[in-house]
A = this chain, B = another copy of it.
Amino acid sequence: MPVDLPGLLSPRPHLLLTPGPTPLHPRAQEALGRELLGHMDPEVFALNREIQQDLRAMYGAAPGTFTALLAGTGSLGMEAGFANLVEPGDEVLVCVNGAFGARMAEMAARYGARVRQVAAPHGEAIRPEDVAAQLGGVSLVALVHGETSTGVLNPLGQIAKLVRESGALLTVDAVTTAGMEPFHMAEWGIDYVYTGAQKCLSAPPGVAPVAISDRALARQAARRTPTPLWYCDFSGLRDYWERQAYHHTVPVHLHYALHAALRAALEEGLPARRARVAALGRALLSALAPLGFTPYVPDPAARLPTVLALRLPPGLDDAATRQALRAREISITGGLGPTAGLIWRLGLMGEAARPAPYRRLLHELEDLLAAPGLCGRFDEALAPLPA
């Protein structure tokens, strides 16, 4: 008899409004029910080719750009970039304005890089001129597009241009942006980019979609020392994804689900996806502002649309409120590190970025915070958006 796990089989679905994982796309959920095939079966290779093609579209990559799923979550995507593109002693410039930039610096150092940092205060974007000032002698630059930990959108296009002119490679964390925000790998000149399946695509966690430029592949092929991380060695990945040779077993069900969710995202189209994120963000702010919630990121241009970071009103008990929501089967997320207790982070990615789930959150908050009118303000602000 299966073990009884509270919540797992609950009649009322648990609602994930966190910065990830996001609620599964129905087609991804359905795909998990498909029968298992082997990682070397022709149907799986056919599926992989479609995934590769769709990832090129999602990332705005040039035709023929190498794309793949890494068999791990987003952090493995981050790691694979440094493992393949850093050799001991390389000068690496890492932009740090939150927890994930800091993680990049940590990983680059572990692979032997001499790490320089360009910092910005939490809640502010990295300034392109600060990057420009540090590019001399740098072989690789690392930047988080959307800082999940603070809700900041960094000016990737501007920074990419500077990096490109310097001749350095650029690795980009698109974990909270790709599939929902504009991403132009080819136009911007990005060399390595990754995301997690469970963010903007609303697929189950466990695979990391990546795209790798020809320049990055050439850099890896010309290494003086082998890539330490065998599991994600670019040439090993190409053995499997381009030459259909065995490298390691891949998580086949997660390929099914990612394929289904990614195809759904491309069918909906980026303009429609951006429109619902923008409308929801505006409506949430309109609804919550009268209670004293304010945007954590002061500069509107630096606000990451997909992770709404809100400073809490004075007197609101962060832990108790989130715990009460949890008891009502809704998860939202607080701050991380220095912002713990200060902010909430509401995920507006993939299937979370729809009116119905947020209406359910506001309905509960109306009760918990004794705030009549919350849902009404939300619905009014949202009026133009279909359910």
Shortest beta-carbon distance from A368 to chain B in Å: 19
| Chain B hits for A32, CB < 8 A | 32-33, 253
Given A79-B230, A229-B229, A8 contacting B36 (CB threshold 8 A)? no
| Chain B hits for A9, CB < 8 A | 34
| Chain B hits for A10, CB < 8 A | 35
Given A21-B252, A39-B21, A251-B206, A73 contacting B71 (CB threshold 8 A)? yes
Shortest beta-carbon distance from A343 to chain B in Å: 16
- A 231-272 contacts with B by CB, 8 A: 231, 246-254, 256, 259-260, 263
| Chain B hits for A259, CB < 8 A | 3
A36 and B351 alpha carbons, distance in the complex (Å): 12
Say which one of A42-50, A150-158, A186-194, A309-317 lies at the interface with B. Answer: A42-50
| Chain B hits for A106, CB < 8 A | 230
A259 and B37 alpha carbons, distance in the complex (Å): 21
Say which one of A11-19, A125-133, A293-301 lies at the interface with B. Answer: A11-19
Tell whether, in the assembled complex, residue A196 and residue B252 are in contact, meaning their CB atoms are under 8 Å apart: no
A13 and B33 alpha carbons, distance in the complex (Å): 13
| Chain B hits for A75, CB < 8 A | 230-231, 247-249
Q: Chain A's interface: helix, strand, loop or mixed, by majority?
A: loop
Tell whether, in the assembled complex, residue A249 and residue B79 are in contact, meaning their CB atoms are under 8 Å apart: no
| Chain B hits for A76, CB < 8 A | 71-72, 231, 248
Residue A101 lies at the interface, judged by CB distance under 8 Å to chain B? no
| Chain B hits for A29, CB < 8 A | 33
Residue A358 lies at the interface, judged by CB distance under 8 Å to chain B? no
- Interchain residue pairs with CB less than 8 A apart (27): A3-B259, A5-B47, A6-B46, A7-B41, A8-B37, A8-B256, A14-B35, A14-B37, A16-B38, A20-B249, A21-B38, A21-B39, A36-B204, A41-B331, A73-B248, A73-B249, A103-B230, A106-B230, A107-B230, A110-B228, A204-B252, A204-B253, A205-B249, A206-B206, A206-B250, A229-B229, A246-B336
